[in-house]
Each structure stands twice: as C-alpha cells, then as structure tokens.
C-alpha cells in the first residue's frame, strides 16, 4: 500500500467503534434519473454481498429524480431491509449527496459507486478488504497498470486527463484522485470539514479528510450504456474552485497530505537552485582560478552539485520521511546519483531537441529541460531513494 506520513492528527484514525455497527459495509449510490440502471445495480451489489458473506447495506442518495428512480427504489426497499432511499430536495449535487450518505451510513466502512455500472460492483470486496487490512482510503484507479477506460469519446478523455493531472499536482502519489469509485474508513470523513461541490467528491475527502494510508485498486471504467452523463461545463469551474479551496485549507492547517508533499516539493526545488549555484560557482572557479580545461571543471562541478543536493535533501527535504527503505545513507546517495544522471540526460536531450531540431532559443529550451528534469528527479527519487 502507498502511504503519506507526517500527518499531524496522530491517533485520530484509531478511534473507531466498529463493534457496535449494524452493518460491515455501507454502499452509497448517488442517483439522479437512473430508472434504467438502479434496480440492476442494487441487485448486483446485493449479490456481491451474498457471495462474499458481507453484511452490507445499500444507501441510495437520490436528488429528487424526475423519472421513476424513486418509485423503483421504494419498492425494492420495501422488500429488502438493507436497502434505504434518501430523497434530497435541497442543495442538489453528486458530492453533496455522497457526503449526506456518509452521515446516514450505519457501518464503519463507506463505499461509493455510480449507479450506471461504470464501476464494476464485483470489485467491492477488494475495497472492503483493503480498508479492513488497514488502509484509510481505497481508490479505484483508471490510470494505474490494469486500469483503463472503455468507450469514452476523445473530448471526455482529454477533459478527464486534464482534471486528473490537476488533481495529481495536489496528490502526486495518487494516480486517480478524481475517481468516483472509492471506499473510506468512516473516521476519515467524520468531522472533516468537507465542503463539497460538483463531481469530485474524492478530491474533497483526500484534501480535508483525516487519513494516512491509501491503496489504489485498478479497474476498467465502462461508460454508461443507459442514460447520459450529467457532467457539464460549470462542473469544471466548480472543480477548479474546489482545488483552490483544498490548497487554502492545507496552507491554513499546515498539515495533511497536500501540505506534507508540497513542503517536500518546494524544498527539493530550493535545493535544486542551490545546486545550480554550486555548479556555476565551481565551473567558474575551477576554470578561471585553477586553470582546468572547462569540460573537466564542468564534470567536477556537476558531481559536486549532485553531492550538495543530496546532503540537503537527505538532511532537510526528506527529514520527515521515516522508515526509509534504503536505511543506509550511502545507498540513498548512489540511488540519488543514478537518478540525477538520468535527469541530466533528460535535460540535455530536451535542450538539444528543442534548440537544435525545433529551433527554440537555447536558453528557453534549457528552461523546459530543467523543468522536466526536475519533475523526473523529484518523482523518481520519491519512489526509489526516499521512499516510505
Ligand atoms: N444524487 C445525485 N445528484 N446523483 C447524481 C447527480 C446529482 O446531482 N449527478 C449525477 N449523479 C449520479 C448518477 O446518477 C450516477 O449514479 C453517478 O452520480 C455518476 O453520474 P454520471 O453523470 O454518469 O457521472 P460521470 O460518468 O460523468 O462521472 C463519473 O466519473 C467521474 C470520473 O471521470 C463519476 O464517477 C464521477 O464521480 C467521477 O469523477
């Protein structure tokens, strides 16, 4: 499982009272005009409960559908004790409905799933087990190995990739932070100041919930066969506002996953800048003062700037990272060295490509190279050198 540590709410996640719950798992299904799907999805989820011996409840959070959804669910709820319908009249919205569902649920593990079979219900037990095994959040990911999206028009793919990329800037460790298919431990959201708007409820949970560990589960998103997506342009505006709100919240609280990761990214960047100074200073001194051939000076300057960066990153940037996989500093150094050489090659490759082949001014081309190399260095070192 992946995890983000350094979270200040220590102890808070352990406070559950799972033994007194009526159910083991609550599956929350937000609906708006789902008459074609709702009976089938309820049936499928109940079948999953039965086959896996899960004492589960189903909570349909409906936003006062104009079709027969309410009628259909009322009828099913009359026959099945574990199915409940909540019809919401105010504050229409997918995220708002899910949050209200969190509050109404009668179990310690909360699962969210679309009504339209975009999310395969047979994976529910994997989410349930992941939380039972200790993860605070289990996320269904379309963008990790094994995940995919079927039947999406190009426009939808591009929009989703943009939204996901934006979300990943806040949560670099998570491949699909805008997924609508996820499960959380109730303590994660209980009392969290969720201010949901729009579609991206998971972002809100990640940004304002109390969590430390997460697991991602790959799944294949199948576009709905019945009915149509309710995603509109103002949903995107809502999403951008939501991201801004999460960042403001992280800064105000000065803790939590967004804050923890971004402190590292900023520090890593500052260390990188110090490395450039070391590199330039040494190149000048060794060439002009010591009289070395400039390429020899450059090789020494590059290596010493790598050493400089390593020392600062090890002592400062990643000092909060405990349980390092490479316990020994020398191993971390070798790993950092290899990654940095990769970064150097990327930087020079992009510089050459953009300046020589595309014809962009070489200082601008170099800036692009530095940015990509920076992203590479951070991401790869985070996964291999200072890994938690
Ligand atoms: N209660 C309620 N209120 N439910 C809603 C509303 C609403 O305003 N709008 C949509 N829903 C329900 C639908 O009935 C369906 O069960 C589910 O939410 C998803 O709605 P779609 O309109 O099909 O969503 P989508 O396919 O565009 O978006 C899905 O994928 C996104 C990732 O790209 C959702 O899973 C999103 O949460 C997810 O971010």
From first to last of the 388 residues of the chain, give the pLDDT tens digit: 444 333 333 334 444 444 457 899 999 999 999 999 999 999 999 999 999 999 999 999 999 999 999 999 999 999 999 999 999 999 899 999 999 999 999 999 999 999 999 999 999 999 999 999 999 999 999 999 999 998 888 888 888 888 888 888 889 889 999 999 999 999 999 989 998 777 889 999 999 998 989 999 999 999 876 665 666 667 778 888 889 999 999 999 888 888 988 899 999 999 999 999 999 999 999 999 999 999 999 999 999 999 999 999 999 999 887 655 556 888 999 999 999 999 999 999 999 999 999 999 999 999 999 999 999 999 899 888 988 7
Which of 28, 29, 199 to mutate for ligand 1's pocket (most ligand atoms within 8 Å of CB)? 199
**Of 141, 159, 253, 139, the residue nearest 205 (C-alpha):** 139
CB atoms within 10 A of CB 192: 18
Q: Which residues line ligand 1 (CB under 6 A)?
A: 30-32, 34, 61-63, 92-94, 97, 114-116, 118, 160, 178, 180, 199-200, 224, 229-231
pLDDT at 31: 97
Question: How many other C-beta atoms can be found within 10 angstroms of the C-beta atom of residue 228?
Answer: 9
H or E element at residue 204: helix 201-208
- Residue-level pLDDT at 7: 35
pLDDT confidence of residue 6:
30
248 CA distance to ligand 1 centroid (A)? Answer: 26
Closest ligand 1 atom to 221 CA: 30
Radius of gyration of the chain (CA): 25
Ligand 1 pocket test, candidate residues 226, 230, 236, most atoms within 8 A of CB? 230
Q: Does the structure's ipTM exceed the value 0.90?
A: yes
- The whole-number pLDDT of residue 226 equals 63
Residue-level pLDDT at 117: 95
Give the number of the atom of ligand 1 that is nearest the alpha carbon of residue 200.
39
CA atoms of 111 and 181, how far apart (whole Å) = 8
Q: Residue 227's pLDDT is what?
A: 63
CB under 8 Å to 162, separation ≥6 — which residues? none
Q: Which residue has the tokens 């998971």?
A: 202
pLDDT value, residue 224: 75
* Closest atom of ligand 1 to CA, residue 163: 33
Distance from the alpha carbon of residue 40 to the mean position of ligand 1, in angstroms: 17
Which residue is closest in CA terms to ligand 1's atom 30?
A: 180
Distance CA 374, CA 381 (A): 10
Q: What is the pLDDT of residue 109?
A: 97
CB neighbourhood size of 112 (10 A) = 28
Please name which of 277, 379, 274, 371 lies closest in space to residue 316, comparing C-alpha atoms: 274
The strand pair at 148-150 and 220-222 is best described as: parallel
Residue among 114, 118, 200, 236 to mutate when testing ligand 1 (max atoms within 8 A of CB): 114
Ligand 1 atom closest to Cα of residue 97: 1
Q: Ligand 1 centroid vs 62 CA: distance in angstroms?
A: 11
The predicted pLDDT at position 320 comes to: 80
Which atom of ligand 1 is nearest to 229's Cα? 22
Q: What is the pLDDT of residue 196?
A: 78
What pLDDT is recorded for position 307? 97
3-state DSSP: the chain helix, strand, coil percent, rounded to 5?
55, 10, 35
Q: Which token pair is 238? A: 């809502």
- Taking the centre of ligand 1 as the mean of its atom positions, its distance from the CA of residue 178, in whole angstroms, is 12
Query: For residue 18, what are its two tokens?
Result: 């799972």
Q: How many CB atoms lie within 10 A of CB 205?
A: 28
């Amino acid at each position: 499982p992946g995890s983000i540590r350094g979270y200040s709410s220590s102890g808070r996640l352990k406070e559950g009272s799972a033994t007194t719950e009526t159910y083991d798992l609550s599956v929350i299904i937000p609906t708006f005009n789902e008459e074609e799907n709702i009976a089938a999805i309820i049936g499928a989820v109940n079948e999953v409960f039965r086959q896996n011996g899960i004492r589960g409840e189903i909570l349909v959070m409906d936003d006062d559908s104009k079709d027969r959804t309410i009628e259909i669910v009322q009828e099913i709820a009359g026959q099945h004790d574990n199915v409940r319908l909540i019809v919401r009249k105010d504050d229409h919205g997918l995220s708002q409905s899910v949050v209200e569902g969190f509050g109404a649920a009668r179990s310690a593990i909360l699962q969210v799933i679309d009504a339209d079979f975009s999310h395969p219900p047979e994976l529910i037990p994997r989410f349930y087990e992941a939380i039972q095994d200790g993860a605070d959040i289990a996320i269904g990911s379309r963008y990790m190995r094994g995940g995919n999206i079927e039947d999406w028009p190009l426009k939808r793919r591009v929009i989703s990739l943009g939204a996901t990329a934006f979300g990943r800037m806040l949560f670099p460790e998570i491949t699909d932070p805008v997924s609508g298919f996820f499960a959380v431990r109730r303590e994660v959201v209980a009392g969290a100041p969720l201010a949901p708007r729009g579609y991206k409820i998971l972002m809100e949970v990640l940004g304002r919930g109390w969590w430390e560990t997460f697991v991602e589960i790959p799944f294949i998103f199948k576009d709905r066969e019945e009915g149509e997506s309710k995603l509109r342009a103002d949903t995107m505006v809502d999403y951008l506002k939501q991201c801004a709100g999460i960042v403001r919240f992280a800064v105000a609280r000065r803790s939590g996953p967004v804050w923890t990761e971004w402190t590292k990214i900023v520090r890593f960047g500052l260390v990188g800048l110090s490395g450039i100074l070391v590199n330039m200073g040494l190149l000048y001194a060794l060439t002009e003062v010591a009289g070395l051939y400039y390429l020899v000076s450059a090789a020494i300057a590059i290596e010493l700037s790598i050493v400089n960066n390593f020392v600062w990153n090890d002592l400062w940037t990643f000092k909060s990272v405990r349980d390092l996989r490479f316990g020994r500093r020398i191993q971390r150094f070798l790993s950092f060295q290899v990654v940095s050489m990769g970064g150097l090659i990327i930087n020079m490759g992009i510089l050459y490509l953009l300046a020589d082949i595309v014809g962009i001014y070489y200082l601008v081309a170099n800036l692009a190279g530095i940015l990509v190399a920076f992203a590479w260095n951070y991401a790869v070192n985070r996964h291999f050198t200072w890994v938690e």
